[in-house]
Structure 1
């Protein structure tokens, strides 16, 4: 189980760092122009804090795998992470329109990859909690 926590740590830290390219990749300078200042800034600030939380989750998994696996507090944290990533998996299918990826090769691949990632994260955290 420890190896899975370390893998998850690296994956989550990488996922957090990918957020750096979001503004340019999604053309936020153009796309967000029509939003009010508060909505535009909330998009940017919330993206930063989501990335920060994901990075810190990854850092915790990478540096404290043993504690997450062996302690009551670690099991409780795993439960919280399992719920978090389980909800993220649900949103992958019911929060985003399939029009965003169906019939588009690259987008479908990304959808499949991230669906698999959310399943993996949810499963590892839930299994750790239940053991």
Structure 2
């Protein structure tokens, strides 16, 4: 397959999106107005939340760099590319599942923006898992 639908191109696109998503974690506390919401938390709890958010962002960047920069290598035969693609499938597949478990309707039905975000992220995780699975199965 050639063009935009080629697996290698899709891997690079997924990689770019994941890097952008990871970098976007920097703005998450401001966008979600954490300062006033976290004001009542104990300092340790607040710091754990900020620290975990930072490391989740770093992981998104790292998990995105491989497909962004090494898409052709990931599609080559071998155990290491299969392991990397398999790990990405498992990781993002778990994130896809968490979309339905960790975010019940009560958390996103309140506003049009939250509904759009929920739908958008559901589609995003579905696409990411599908691309990694297609890469793993067609290499």
Task: Choose 66-75 or 6-15, whichever is displaced more.
Answer: 66-75
The answer to whether the 8 A contact 1:69-1:128 is kept is yes
| Aligned with residue 115 of structure 1, among 107, 111, 122 | 122
TM-fit CA distance, 1:126:
1.5
The answer to whether the 8 A contact 1:89-1:119 is kept is yes
Unpaired runs of 5+ in structure 1?
Answer: none
| Aligned with residue 50 of structure 1, among 52, 56, 66 | 56
**Structure 1: how far apart are the matches of 2:66 and 2:39?**
37
**Structure 2: how far apart are the matches of 1:128 and 1:76?**
12
Q: Which residue number corresponds to residue 81 of structure 1?
A: 88
Alignment CA distance shift 1:38-1:71 (3 Å) = farther
1:8 and 2:33 matched: no
Deviations 1:89-115 (A, max 9, x none): 111111112112225211111111110
Q: Which residue number corresponds to residue 68 of structure 1?
A: 74
The root-mean-square deviation of aligned C-alpha atoms, in Å, is: 1.2
